[in-house]
Structure 1
Amino acid sequence: MAGNSQRRGAVRKGGKKPAAGSGGQRRRGLEGKGPTPKAVDREYHPAHKRAKAVAKGGAGAGSRGSGTAGRAPRRTKGSSEMVAGRNSVVEALRADIPVSTMYIATRIDSDDRVKEALKLATERGLAILETPRGELDRLTDGAVHQGLALQVPPYEYADPRDLIDPEQPGIPLVVALDGITDPRNLGAIVRSVAAFGGHGVVVPERRSVGMTASAWKTSAGAAARIPVAKAGNLTRALEDFKKAGFFILGLDMDGDVELPDLTLAAEPLVVVTGSEGKGLSRLVRETCDQIVSIPMSSAVESLNAGLATGVALYEIARQRRA
Protein backbone atom coordinates (compact mmCIF):
# COMPACT_ATOMS: atom_id res chain seq x y z
CA MET A 1 0.00 0.00 0.00
CA ALA A 2 1.10 3.60 -0.47
CA GLY A 3 3.62 4.85 2.08
CA ASN A 4 4.59 1.34 3.17
CA SER A 5 8.29 1.72 3.86
CA GLN A 6 8.63 -2.02 4.27
CA ARG A 7 7.90 -2.52 0.58
CA ARG A 8 10.85 -3.96 -1.31
CA GLY A 9 12.75 -1.20 -2.99
CA ALA A 10 11.38 1.55 -0.81
CA VAL A 11 14.57 1.89 1.22
CA ARG A 12 17.58 3.60 -0.42
CA LYS A 13 20.47 1.21 -0.31
CA GLY A 14 24.03 2.29 0.29
CA GLY A 15 26.49 2.29 -2.62
CA LYS A 16 27.45 5.01 -5.16
CA LYS A 17 27.74 8.50 -3.76
CA PRO A 18 26.81 11.47 -5.87
CA ALA A 19 29.67 12.51 -8.16
CA ALA A 20 31.42 15.72 -7.27
CA GLY A 21 30.88 18.64 -9.62
CA SER A 22 33.56 20.04 -11.89
CA GLY A 23 33.74 23.18 -9.79
CA GLY A 24 33.63 25.33 -12.92
CA GLN A 25 36.76 23.77 -14.43
CA ARG A 26 35.00 22.81 -17.63
CA ARG A 27 33.53 26.24 -18.02
CA ARG A 28 36.90 27.84 -17.50
CA GLY A 29 38.45 25.42 -20.00
CA LEU A 30 36.15 26.76 -22.68
CA GLU A 31 37.21 30.33 -22.19
CA GLY A 32 39.32 31.88 -24.97
CA LYS A 33 43.09 32.15 -24.63
CA GLY A 34 43.49 35.31 -26.68
CA PRO A 35 44.47 35.85 -30.33
CA THR A 36 46.76 33.36 -32.10
CA PRO A 37 50.35 34.65 -32.17
CA LYS A 38 51.76 35.74 -35.52
CA ALA A 39 53.69 33.14 -37.50
CA VAL A 40 56.99 34.95 -36.92
CA ASP A 41 56.38 34.81 -33.14
CA ARG A 42 55.82 31.04 -33.08
CA GLU A 43 59.13 29.39 -32.32
CA TYR A 44 58.68 26.29 -34.47
CA HIS A 45 57.05 27.99 -37.49
CA PRO A 46 59.20 28.32 -40.68
CA ALA A 47 58.45 32.07 -40.77
CA HIS A 48 60.05 32.46 -37.33
CA LYS A 49 63.16 30.65 -38.50
CA ARG A 50 63.39 32.80 -41.64
CA ALA A 51 63.02 35.98 -39.60
CA LYS A 52 65.74 34.75 -37.25
CA ALA A 53 68.04 34.08 -40.20
CA VAL A 54 67.40 37.58 -41.58
CA ALA A 55 68.26 39.08 -38.19
CA LYS A 56 71.55 37.21 -38.18
CA GLY A 57 72.30 38.14 -41.81
CA GLY A 58 72.31 34.49 -42.85
CA ALA A 59 71.48 32.80 -46.13
CA GLY A 60 67.82 33.61 -45.82
CA ALA A 61 68.40 37.36 -45.60
CA GLY A 62 67.87 38.00 -49.31
CA SER A 63 64.49 39.10 -50.57
CA ARG A 64 62.70 38.06 -53.75
CA GLY A 65 63.87 39.90 -56.79
CA SER A 66 67.16 40.92 -55.13
CA GLY A 67 69.18 39.21 -57.84
CA THR A 68 70.23 35.77 -59.00
CA ALA A 69 73.87 35.75 -57.94
CA GLY A 70 74.96 32.62 -56.17
CA ARG A 71 71.93 30.57 -57.21
CA ALA A 72 72.37 27.35 -59.12
CA PRO A 73 70.73 27.29 -62.58
CA ARG A 74 67.13 26.09 -62.28
CA ARG A 75 66.04 23.10 -64.32
CA THR A 76 62.38 22.30 -64.11
CA LYS A 77 60.56 19.16 -65.12
CA GLY A 78 57.20 18.82 -66.75
CA SER A 79 54.78 16.01 -66.11
CA SER A 80 55.01 12.53 -67.62
CA GLU A 81 52.76 11.86 -70.60
CA MET A 82 51.06 8.80 -72.03
CA VAL A 83 51.01 8.23 -75.81
CA ALA A 84 48.13 5.90 -76.65
CA GLY A 85 47.11 4.11 -79.84
CA ARG A 86 48.98 1.85 -82.26
CA ASN A 87 49.73 4.50 -84.92
CA SER A 88 50.79 7.08 -82.34
CA VAL A 89 53.06 4.61 -80.54
CA VAL A 90 54.79 3.50 -83.75
CA GLU A 91 55.29 7.10 -84.94
CA ALA A 92 56.70 8.12 -81.56
CA LEU A 93 59.17 5.23 -81.58
CA ARG A 94 60.21 6.02 -85.16
CA ALA A 95 60.89 9.66 -84.14
CA ASP A 96 63.14 8.53 -81.24
CA ILE A 97 60.99 10.29 -78.66
CA PRO A 98 62.36 9.56 -75.16
CA VAL A 99 60.33 6.72 -73.67
CA SER A 100 60.59 5.12 -70.25
CA THR A 101 58.12 2.23 -70.63
CA MET A 102 55.96 0.61 -73.30
CA TYR A 103 52.71 -0.99 -72.14
CA ILE A 104 51.09 -3.78 -74.16
CA ALA A 105 47.70 -5.27 -73.35
CA THR A 106 47.40 -8.89 -72.31
CA ARG A 107 46.27 -11.14 -75.21
CA ILE A 108 46.54 -8.32 -77.75
CA ASP A 109 45.51 -9.02 -81.35
CA SER A 110 48.84 -8.58 -83.10
CA ASP A 111 49.21 -6.79 -86.45
CA ASP A 112 52.07 -5.09 -88.35
CA ARG A 113 51.99 -2.02 -86.10
CA VAL A 114 52.21 -4.08 -82.92
CA LYS A 115 55.10 -6.11 -84.37
CA GLU A 116 56.98 -2.95 -85.42
CA ALA A 117 56.40 -1.34 -82.02
CA LEU A 118 57.80 -4.40 -80.26
CA LYS A 119 60.78 -4.52 -82.63
CA LEU A 120 61.63 -0.81 -82.15
CA ALA A 121 61.17 -0.97 -78.38
CA THR A 122 63.39 -4.06 -78.14
CA GLU A 123 66.12 -2.45 -80.26
CA ARG A 124 66.11 0.59 -77.99
CA GLY A 125 66.18 -1.55 -74.86
CA LEU A 126 62.93 -0.12 -73.50
CA ALA A 127 61.03 -1.72 -70.64
CA ILE A 128 57.99 -3.59 -72.04
CA LEU A 129 55.20 -4.40 -69.59
CA GLU A 130 52.27 -6.69 -70.33
CA THR A 131 49.27 -5.05 -68.68
CA PRO A 132 45.58 -5.98 -68.23
CA ARG A 133 43.28 -3.85 -70.36
CA GLY A 134 41.55 -2.39 -67.31
CA GLU A 135 44.85 -1.14 -65.94
CA LEU A 136 45.78 0.22 -69.40
CA ASP A 137 42.46 2.09 -69.50
CA ARG A 138 43.35 3.67 -66.16
CA LEU A 139 46.90 4.58 -67.21
CA THR A 140 45.72 6.26 -70.41
CA ASP A 141 42.77 7.97 -68.70
CA GLY A 142 40.25 6.19 -70.90
CA ALA A 143 41.91 7.00 -74.23
CA VAL A 144 41.53 4.67 -77.24
CA HIS A 145 44.83 2.83 -76.76
CA GLN A 146 44.17 -0.27 -78.93
CA GLY A 147 46.32 -2.25 -76.52
CA LEU A 148 49.48 -0.12 -76.88
CA ALA A 149 50.77 2.86 -74.91
CA LEU A 150 54.05 4.62 -74.15
CA GLN A 151 55.06 6.54 -71.05
CA VAL A 152 57.09 9.62 -71.97
CA PRO A 153 59.24 10.88 -69.07
CA PRO A 154 59.06 14.54 -67.96
CA TYR A 155 61.05 16.92 -70.15
CA GLU A 156 63.96 18.61 -68.39
CA TYR A 157 63.71 22.32 -69.15
CA ALA A 158 66.78 24.51 -69.13
CA ASP A 159 66.95 27.88 -67.38
CA PRO A 160 66.73 30.95 -69.66
CA ARG A 161 70.06 32.14 -68.21
CA ASP A 162 71.72 29.07 -69.76
CA LEU A 163 71.03 30.58 -73.19
CA ILE A 164 72.61 33.97 -72.47
CA ASP A 165 76.06 32.43 -72.91
CA PRO A 166 75.34 29.37 -75.10
CA GLU A 167 77.82 26.54 -75.41
CA GLN A 168 77.41 26.29 -79.19
CA PRO A 169 79.59 28.49 -81.41
CA GLY A 170 78.28 31.45 -83.39
CA ILE A 171 76.44 34.67 -82.63
CA PRO A 172 73.73 33.91 -80.03
CA LEU A 173 70.27 33.45 -81.52
CA VAL A 174 67.31 32.54 -79.29
CA VAL A 175 63.58 32.24 -80.02
CA ALA A 176 61.02 33.14 -77.35
CA LEU A 177 57.36 32.15 -77.65
CA ASP A 178 54.53 34.33 -76.37
CA GLY A 179 51.22 32.50 -76.03
CA ILE A 180 51.93 29.58 -78.39
CA THR A 181 49.63 26.70 -77.40
CA ASP A 182 49.96 24.26 -80.33
CA PRO A 183 52.65 21.61 -79.67
CA ARG A 184 53.17 21.14 -83.42
CA ASN A 185 54.13 24.82 -83.72
CA LEU A 186 56.61 24.40 -80.88
CA GLY A 187 58.10 21.30 -82.51
CA ALA A 188 58.40 23.05 -85.89
CA ILE A 189 60.08 26.08 -84.26
CA VAL A 190 62.61 23.87 -82.44
CA ARG A 191 63.38 22.22 -85.78
CA SER A 192 63.87 25.63 -87.49
CA VAL A 193 66.12 26.83 -84.65
CA ALA A 194 68.33 23.78 -85.20
CA ALA A 195 68.33 24.23 -88.99
CA PHE A 196 69.33 27.91 -89.00
CA GLY A 197 71.99 27.99 -86.28
CA GLY A 198 69.87 28.98 -83.30
CA HIS A 199 70.87 28.20 -79.74
CA GLY A 200 67.60 27.60 -77.88
CA VAL A 201 63.94 28.31 -77.30
CA VAL A 202 62.26 30.01 -74.32
CA VAL A 203 58.64 29.29 -73.38
CA PRO A 204 56.70 30.93 -70.54
CA GLU A 205 55.53 28.84 -67.62
CA ARG A 206 51.85 29.75 -68.03
CA ARG A 207 49.49 29.94 -71.00
CA SER A 208 52.00 28.16 -73.22
CA VAL A 209 52.58 24.74 -74.70
CA GLY A 210 55.33 22.55 -73.28
CA MET A 211 57.53 19.83 -74.73
CA THR A 212 54.89 17.16 -75.21
CA ALA A 213 55.27 13.97 -77.23
CA SER A 214 53.61 15.75 -80.17
CA ALA A 215 56.19 18.57 -80.01
CA TRP A 216 59.01 16.02 -79.83
CA LYS A 217 57.65 14.22 -82.88
CA THR A 218 57.23 17.39 -84.96
CA SER A 219 60.78 18.50 -84.13
CA ALA A 220 62.05 15.40 -85.99
CA GLY A 221 64.77 14.77 -83.42
CA ALA A 222 65.93 18.41 -83.12
CA ALA A 223 64.58 18.56 -79.57
CA ALA A 224 67.42 16.28 -78.53
CA ARG A 225 69.96 18.96 -79.61
CA ILE A 226 68.20 22.29 -78.97
CA PRO A 227 67.52 23.22 -75.31
CA VAL A 228 64.07 24.50 -74.40
CA ALA A 229 64.02 26.80 -71.36
CA LYS A 230 61.01 27.66 -69.22
CA ALA A 231 60.63 31.21 -67.89
CA GLY A 232 58.46 32.04 -64.89
CA ASN A 233 57.94 35.52 -66.36
CA LEU A 234 58.67 36.02 -70.06
CA THR A 235 58.96 39.81 -69.89
CA ARG A 236 61.48 39.60 -67.07
CA ALA A 237 63.47 36.96 -68.97
CA LEU A 238 63.58 39.22 -72.04
CA GLU A 239 64.83 42.10 -69.87
CA ASP A 240 67.63 39.84 -68.60
CA PHE A 241 68.62 39.11 -72.21
CA LYS A 242 68.67 42.85 -72.94
CA LYS A 243 70.94 43.49 -69.96
CA ALA A 244 73.29 40.84 -71.35
CA GLY A 245 73.56 42.67 -74.70
CA PHE A 246 70.85 40.97 -76.76
CA PHE A 247 68.45 42.83 -79.06
CA ILE A 248 64.81 41.75 -78.82
CA LEU A 249 62.92 41.45 -82.12
CA GLY A 250 59.17 40.89 -82.09
CA LEU A 251 57.44 39.32 -85.10
CA ASP A 252 54.16 41.02 -86.00
CA MET A 253 52.28 41.75 -89.20
CA ASP A 254 52.15 45.46 -88.24
CA GLY A 255 55.89 45.76 -87.69
CA ASP A 256 57.95 48.93 -88.02
CA VAL A 257 60.65 47.19 -90.06
CA GLU A 258 60.22 44.65 -92.86
CA LEU A 259 62.37 41.55 -92.50
CA PRO A 260 64.63 42.13 -95.56
CA ASP A 261 65.50 45.60 -94.19
CA LEU A 262 66.62 44.24 -90.82
CA THR A 263 69.95 45.75 -89.75
CA LEU A 264 70.45 43.88 -86.46
CA ALA A 265 71.03 40.39 -87.85
CA ALA A 266 74.72 40.38 -86.87
CA GLU A 267 73.92 41.15 -83.22
CA PRO A 268 72.95 38.68 -80.45
CA LEU A 269 69.20 38.30 -80.94
CA VAL A 270 66.06 37.05 -79.28
CA VAL A 271 63.24 36.61 -81.80
CA VAL A 272 59.83 36.70 -80.10
CA THR A 273 56.89 35.02 -81.82
CA GLY A 274 53.33 35.64 -80.64
CA SER A 275 50.23 33.57 -81.16
CA GLU A 276 48.57 33.60 -84.57
CA GLY A 277 45.35 35.02 -83.16
CA LYS A 278 46.40 37.56 -80.51
CA GLY A 279 49.97 38.29 -81.59
CA LEU A 280 52.40 39.72 -79.04
CA SER A 281 51.13 40.65 -75.59
CA ARG A 282 51.38 44.31 -74.59
CA LEU A 283 54.22 43.96 -72.08
CA VAL A 284 56.27 41.77 -74.41
CA ARG A 285 55.76 44.21 -77.29
CA GLU A 286 56.92 47.11 -75.12
CA THR A 287 60.06 45.15 -74.21
CA CYS A 288 61.06 44.60 -77.88
CA ASP A 289 63.71 46.83 -79.50
CA GLN A 290 62.09 46.41 -82.92
CA ILE A 291 58.85 44.99 -84.28
CA VAL A 292 59.55 43.17 -87.54
CA SER A 293 57.02 42.14 -90.19
CA ILE A 294 57.31 39.61 -93.01
CA PRO A 295 56.23 41.05 -96.38
CA MET A 296 53.50 38.91 -97.94
CA SER A 297 50.93 38.97 -100.69
CA SER A 298 47.74 40.80 -99.74
CA ALA A 299 45.81 37.59 -100.42
CA VAL A 300 47.32 36.03 -97.28
CA GLU A 301 46.53 37.56 -93.90
CA SER A 302 49.22 35.85 -91.81
CA LEU A 303 51.46 32.83 -91.42
CA ASN A 304 51.19 30.46 -88.52
CA ALA A 305 53.76 30.79 -85.76
CA GLY A 306 55.94 27.92 -86.95
CA LEU A 307 56.21 29.18 -90.53
CA ALA A 308 56.73 32.82 -89.55
CA THR A 309 59.55 31.91 -87.18
CA GLY A 310 61.20 29.69 -89.79
CA VAL A 311 61.15 32.49 -92.39
CA ALA A 312 62.62 35.00 -89.92
CA LEU A 313 65.38 32.62 -88.84
CA TYR A 314 66.28 31.88 -92.46
CA GLU A 315 66.66 35.59 -93.28
CA ILE A 316 68.78 36.19 -90.17
CA ALA A 317 71.01 33.23 -91.07
CA ARG A 318 71.32 34.48 -94.68
CA GLN A 319 72.37 37.96 -93.58
CA ARG A 320 74.86 36.52 -91.09
CA ARG A 321 76.48 34.43 -93.80
CA ALA A 322 76.68 37.47 -96.08
Structure 2
Amino acid sequence: MGDANLTIADRIQDRLETLTRAERQLAHSILENYPASGLGPISTLANDAEVSTPTVARMVQKLGFKGYPEFQAELREELKAKVKNPIAKHDTWAEGAPSGHMLNRFTEAVIDNIRHSLGQIDTGDFDAACAQLADTSARLHIVGGRITHTMAEYLFLHMQMIRPDVTHIQSTSNAWPHYLLDVKPGDTFVIFDVRRYESNTLKLAEMAHQRGARIILFTDQWRSPVHRLADISFSSRIVVPSAWDSAATTLLLIETMIAAVQDLNWEDTKNRMQTLEDMFDQTKLFRKFT
Protein backbone atom coordinates (compact mmCIF):
# COMPACT_ATOMS: atom_id res chain seq x y z
CA MET A 1 0.00 0.00 0.00
CA GLY A 2 1.43 3.41 -0.97
CA ASP A 3 0.53 4.91 2.41
CA ALA A 4 2.53 2.34 4.37
CA ASN A 5 4.74 4.95 6.07
CA LEU A 6 1.87 7.27 6.97
CA THR A 7 -0.19 7.13 10.13
CA ILE A 8 -3.95 7.06 9.86
CA ALA A 9 -3.96 10.65 11.15
CA ASP A 10 -1.63 11.59 8.27
CA ARG A 11 -3.94 9.93 5.75
CA ILE A 12 -6.94 11.80 7.15
CA GLN A 13 -5.06 15.10 6.88
CA ASP A 14 -4.03 14.39 3.29
CA ARG A 15 -7.61 13.63 2.24
CA LEU A 16 -9.52 16.28 4.19
CA GLU A 17 -10.35 18.25 1.07
CA THR A 18 -11.92 15.18 -0.59
CA LEU A 19 -14.19 14.23 2.31
CA THR A 20 -17.91 14.92 2.47
CA ARG A 21 -19.36 16.96 5.34
CA ALA A 22 -20.32 13.80 7.25
CA GLU A 23 -16.89 12.27 6.65
CA ARG A 24 -15.19 15.44 7.90
CA GLN A 25 -17.33 15.22 11.03
CA LEU A 26 -16.16 11.63 11.43
CA ALA A 27 -12.53 12.67 10.85
CA HIS A 28 -12.90 15.31 13.56
CA SER A 29 -14.21 12.67 15.97
CA ILE A 30 -11.38 10.21 15.18
CA LEU A 31 -8.62 12.78 15.58
CA GLU A 32 -10.03 14.18 18.81
CA ASN A 33 -9.26 10.99 20.74
CA TYR A 34 -6.70 9.46 18.40
CA PRO A 35 -5.83 6.57 18.16
CA ALA A 36 -8.15 5.10 20.81
CA SER A 37 -11.27 6.47 19.07
CA GLY A 38 -11.33 3.73 16.42
CA LEU A 39 -10.58 0.71 18.58
CA GLY A 40 -14.22 -0.11 19.38
CA PRO A 41 -16.99 -1.51 17.17
CA ILE A 42 -17.82 0.36 13.98
CA SER A 43 -21.27 1.22 15.38
CA THR A 44 -19.68 2.88 18.43
CA LEU A 45 -17.42 5.06 16.27
CA ALA A 46 -20.40 6.01 14.10
CA ASN A 47 -22.53 6.90 17.16
CA ASP A 48 -19.73 8.94 18.76
CA ALA A 49 -19.31 10.95 15.56
CA GLU A 50 -23.09 11.16 14.99
CA VAL A 51 -22.79 9.71 11.49
CA SER A 52 -24.08 6.52 9.88
CA THR A 53 -22.21 3.21 9.84
CA PRO A 54 -21.99 3.31 6.00
CA THR A 55 -20.26 6.70 6.32
CA VAL A 56 -17.57 5.07 8.47
CA ALA A 57 -17.18 2.22 5.97
CA ARG A 58 -16.86 4.64 3.02
CA MET A 59 -14.27 6.82 4.72
CA VAL A 60 -12.19 3.82 5.80
CA GLN A 61 -12.00 2.80 2.14
CA LYS A 62 -11.06 6.34 1.13
CA LEU A 63 -8.15 6.06 3.55
CA GLY A 64 -6.88 3.04 1.63
CA PHE A 65 -8.18 0.15 3.75
CA LYS A 66 -10.23 -2.80 2.49
CA GLY A 67 -12.54 -2.59 5.47
CA TYR A 68 -12.98 -1.62 9.12
CA PRO A 69 -11.05 -4.66 10.51
CA GLU A 70 -7.93 -3.68 8.53
CA PHE A 71 -8.36 -0.07 9.69
CA GLN A 72 -8.53 -1.23 13.33
CA ALA A 73 -5.51 -3.50 12.93
CA GLU A 74 -3.46 -0.53 11.72
CA LEU A 75 -4.63 1.56 14.68
CA ARG A 76 -3.54 -1.17 17.10
CA GLU A 77 -0.10 -1.28 15.46
CA GLU A 78 0.20 2.49 15.86
CA LEU A 79 -0.78 2.19 19.51
CA LYS A 80 1.91 -0.46 20.07
CA ALA A 81 4.53 1.72 18.38
CA LYS A 82 3.50 4.70 20.51
CA VAL A 83 3.98 2.72 23.70
CA LYS A 84 7.45 1.65 22.57
CA ASN A 85 8.47 5.21 21.69
CA PRO A 86 11.25 6.48 24.01
CA ILE A 87 9.40 9.72 24.68
CA ALA A 88 6.18 7.88 25.48
CA LYS A 89 8.15 5.73 27.96
CA HIS A 90 9.55 8.80 29.74
CA ASP A 91 8.39 8.48 33.36
CA THR A 92 7.64 12.14 34.03
CA TRP A 93 8.19 15.58 32.54
CA ALA A 94 7.68 17.33 35.86
CA GLU A 95 9.96 15.80 38.49
CA GLY A 96 8.16 14.71 41.59
CA ALA A 97 4.81 14.36 39.84
CA PRO A 98 3.36 10.96 38.89
CA SER A 99 3.15 10.11 35.20
CA GLY A 100 -0.63 10.52 35.29
CA HIS A 101 -0.42 14.05 36.71
CA MET A 102 -1.97 16.77 34.55
CA LEU A 103 1.42 18.49 34.11
CA ASN A 104 2.83 15.38 32.48
CA ARG A 105 -0.28 14.37 30.52
CA PHE A 106 -0.69 17.86 29.11
CA THR A 107 3.01 18.18 28.24
CA GLU A 108 2.94 14.78 26.52
CA ALA A 109 0.00 15.90 24.38
CA VAL A 110 1.62 19.24 23.47
CA ILE A 111 4.91 17.60 22.47
CA ASP A 112 3.03 15.07 20.36
CA ASN A 113 1.09 17.93 18.73
CA ILE A 114 4.30 19.82 17.97
CA ARG A 115 6.06 16.76 16.54
CA HIS A 116 3.14 15.83 14.30
CA SER A 117 2.45 19.40 13.13
CA LEU A 118 6.08 20.16 12.26
CA GLY A 119 6.24 16.92 10.32
CA GLN A 120 3.46 18.25 8.06
CA ILE A 121 5.02 21.65 7.36
CA ASP A 122 6.63 22.39 4.00
CA THR A 123 9.78 24.42 4.75
CA GLY A 124 9.43 26.08 1.36
CA ASP A 125 6.00 27.38 2.39
CA PHE A 126 7.42 28.57 5.71
CA ASP A 127 10.25 30.46 3.99
CA ALA A 128 7.82 31.96 1.46
CA ALA A 129 5.53 33.15 4.27
CA CYS A 130 8.47 34.78 6.06
CA ALA A 131 9.51 36.52 2.84
CA GLN A 132 5.98 37.89 2.46
CA LEU A 133 5.97 39.21 6.02
CA ALA A 134 9.34 40.86 5.40
CA ASP A 135 8.24 42.48 2.13
CA THR A 136 7.90 46.16 3.06
CA SER A 137 6.69 47.11 -0.43
CA ALA A 138 3.24 45.85 0.61
CA ARG A 139 1.13 46.43 3.71
CA LEU A 140 0.72 43.68 6.27
CA HIS A 141 -2.66 43.05 7.92
CA ILE A 142 -3.03 40.67 10.88
CA VAL A 143 -6.42 39.24 11.83
CA GLY A 144 -7.54 37.16 14.81
CA GLY A 145 -10.84 35.92 16.19
CA ARG A 146 -12.56 35.70 19.56
CA ILE A 147 -9.78 33.61 21.13
CA THR A 148 -7.03 33.79 18.51
CA HIS A 149 -6.88 37.59 18.67
CA THR A 150 -4.30 37.09 21.44
CA MET A 151 -1.93 35.35 19.00
CA ALA A 152 -2.69 37.93 16.31
CA GLU A 153 -1.85 40.73 18.74
CA TYR A 154 1.40 38.99 19.75
CA LEU A 155 2.49 38.72 16.10
CA PHE A 156 1.35 42.29 15.39
CA LEU A 157 3.37 43.75 18.28
CA HIS A 158 6.57 42.15 16.99
CA MET A 159 5.93 42.86 13.31
CA GLN A 160 5.26 46.49 14.20
CA MET A 161 8.77 46.71 15.66
CA ILE A 162 10.37 44.85 12.75
CA ARG A 163 8.78 46.69 9.81
CA PRO A 164 6.46 49.61 8.90
CA ASP A 165 2.88 49.49 7.54
CA VAL A 166 1.40 46.82 9.81
CA THR A 167 -2.28 46.82 10.79
CA HIS A 168 -4.05 44.73 13.43
CA ILE A 169 -7.66 44.03 12.40
CA GLN A 170 -10.04 42.56 14.96
CA SER A 171 -12.54 40.51 12.98
CA THR A 172 -15.02 40.64 15.88
CA SER A 173 -15.29 44.42 15.46
CA ASN A 174 -18.11 45.88 13.36
CA ALA A 175 -15.58 48.36 11.96
CA TRP A 176 -13.37 45.81 10.19
CA PRO A 177 -14.73 46.59 6.69
CA HIS A 178 -13.13 50.05 7.08
CA TYR A 179 -9.69 48.41 7.06
CA LEU A 180 -10.34 46.96 3.59
CA LEU A 181 -10.73 50.37 1.94
CA ASP A 182 -7.00 50.81 1.33
CA VAL A 183 -6.07 47.19 0.62
CA LYS A 184 -4.09 46.85 -2.61
CA PRO A 185 -3.21 43.82 -4.74
CA GLY A 186 -0.16 42.12 -3.23
CA ASP A 187 -0.87 43.16 0.36
CA THR A 188 -0.52 40.32 2.86
CA PHE A 189 -3.16 39.16 5.33
CA VAL A 190 -2.16 36.84 8.18
CA ILE A 191 -5.36 35.24 9.44
CA PHE A 192 -5.84 33.08 12.54
CA ASP A 193 -8.93 30.84 12.48
CA VAL A 194 -9.36 27.67 14.53
CA ARG A 195 -12.47 25.79 15.53
CA ARG A 196 -15.08 27.18 16.04
CA TYR A 197 -14.55 28.93 12.72
CA GLU A 198 -15.95 32.47 12.67
CA SER A 199 -18.23 33.80 9.93
CA ASN A 200 -16.73 37.31 10.15
CA THR A 201 -13.25 35.93 9.57
CA LEU A 202 -14.31 34.02 6.46
CA LYS A 203 -16.14 37.03 5.03
CA LEU A 204 -13.11 39.26 5.68
CA ALA A 205 -10.85 36.71 3.95
CA GLU A 206 -13.20 36.54 0.95
CA MET A 207 -13.23 40.33 0.57
CA ALA A 208 -9.45 40.62 1.00
CA HIS A 209 -8.97 37.85 -1.59
CA GLN A 210 -11.26 39.68 -4.03
CA ARG A 211 -9.08 42.78 -3.65
CA GLY A 212 -5.97 40.80 -4.64
CA ALA A 213 -4.45 40.32 -1.20
CA ARG A 214 -2.26 37.31 -0.38
CA ILE A 215 -3.46 35.23 2.59
CA ILE A 216 -1.36 33.31 5.10
CA LEU A 217 -3.57 31.16 7.35
CA PHE A 218 -2.87 29.71 10.79
CA THR A 219 -5.49 27.06 11.51
CA ASP A 220 -6.02 23.65 13.14
CA GLN A 221 -5.78 20.07 11.90
CA TRP A 222 -9.29 20.20 10.40
CA ARG A 223 -8.57 23.46 8.53
CA SER A 224 -10.72 26.57 8.52
CA PRO A 225 -12.87 27.29 5.44
CA VAL A 226 -10.41 30.16 4.83
CA HIS A 227 -8.00 27.41 3.72
CA ARG A 228 -9.62 27.44 0.27
CA LEU A 229 -8.61 31.09 -0.21
CA ALA A 230 -5.16 31.00 1.41
CA ASP A 231 -1.90 31.09 -0.54
CA ILE A 232 -0.15 29.37 2.39
CA SER A 233 -1.72 27.46 5.28
CA PHE A 234 -0.18 26.19 8.51
CA SER A 235 -2.27 23.50 10.23
CA SER A 236 -1.46 22.77 13.87
CA ARG A 237 -2.77 19.97 16.05
CA ILE A 238 -4.56 21.57 18.98
CA VAL A 239 -6.15 18.75 21.02
CA VAL A 240 -4.99 18.37 24.64
CA PRO A 241 -6.56 16.89 27.82
CA SER A 242 -8.60 20.03 28.44
CA ALA A 243 -11.94 21.61 27.58
CA TRP A 244 -9.84 24.22 25.72
CA ASP A 245 -7.67 23.75 22.66
CA SER A 246 -3.92 24.29 22.85
CA ALA A 247 -2.20 27.23 21.14
CA ALA A 248 1.32 25.95 21.91
CA THR A 249 2.15 24.67 18.41
CA THR A 250 0.78 27.78 16.70
CA LEU A 251 2.74 30.00 19.09
CA LEU A 252 5.91 28.04 18.32
CA LEU A 253 5.38 28.74 14.60
CA ILE A 254 4.70 32.42 15.26
CA GLU A 255 7.83 32.90 17.36
CA THR A 256 9.97 31.06 14.81
CA MET A 257 8.52 33.21 12.05
CA ILE A 258 9.23 36.40 14.02
CA ALA A 259 12.87 35.35 14.41
CA ALA A 260 13.18 34.56 10.69
CA VAL A 261 11.58 37.83 9.53
CA GLN A 262 13.76 39.79 11.95
CA ASP A 263 16.85 38.28 10.33
CA LEU A 264 15.60 39.04 6.82
CA ASN A 265 15.14 42.73 7.67
CA TRP A 266 17.84 43.01 10.33
CA GLU A 267 19.42 46.38 9.42
CA ASP A 268 16.07 48.15 9.20
CA THR A 269 14.77 46.26 12.23
CA LYS A 270 17.81 47.24 14.28
CA ASN A 271 17.28 50.92 13.44
CA ARG A 272 13.59 50.74 14.31
CA MET A 273 14.31 49.02 17.61
CA GLN A 274 16.93 51.61 18.51
CA THR A 275 14.49 54.43 17.75
CA LEU A 276 11.86 52.70 19.86
CA GLU A 277 14.30 52.29 22.77
CA ASP A 278 15.11 56.01 22.58
CA MET A 279 11.39 56.76 22.82
CA PHE A 280 11.06 54.44 25.81
CA ASP A 281 13.93 56.31 27.50
CA GLN A 282 12.22 59.64 26.87
CA THR A 283 8.90 58.46 28.27
CA LYS A 284 10.57 56.61 31.19
CA LEU A 285 8.22 53.71 30.50
CA PHE A 286 10.63 51.13 31.87
CA ARG A 287 12.79 51.29 34.99
CA LYS A 288 16.55 51.36 34.47
CA PHE A 289 18.88 49.58 36.88
CA THR A 290 22.19 50.94 35.60
The two structures have a TM-score, normalised by structure 2, of: 0.30
Q: Which has the higher helix share?
A: 2
Q: Which has the higher strand share?
A: 1
Larger radius of gyration: 1
